[in-house]
Amino acid sequence: MTSNEIARLKTVHFCYKTSGIEAAFMLTELLETSETPVCKELKMGYKIVEKDSTGK
């Protein structure tokens, strides 16, 4: 890398599309049922995106 280049930093990719789909499904299910809602927790994954700053 030359002195004029800027190193890109390592970042994290969150599954926003998947989490949106899951949230919409949970909301639809809540609206369509007359039963008492059940508390639900959903943990979504993530991915580390290696960039220039890690030497890769």
Give bridge partners of residue 12 from the DSSP assignment.
Answer: 48
Say what the pLDDT of residue 5 is. 72
What pLDDT does residue 4 have?
67
DSSP secondary structure of 1-56: --TT--PPPPEEEE-HHHHHHHHHHHHHHHHH--SPPPP------EEEE--GGGT-
- Residue 13's DSSP bridge partners are 47
The predicted model scores a pTM of 0.56
What per-residue confidence (pLDDT) applies to 17?
92
pLDDT for position 2: 60
What pLDDT, on the 0 to 100 scale, is given for residue 21? Answer: 93
Cβ-based neighbours of 18, under 8 Å, separated by 6 or more: 44
Distance separating alpha carbons of residues 43 and 34, to the nearest angstrom: 26
Mean pLDDT by 10 residues, the chain (56 residues): 70 90 89 80 86 65
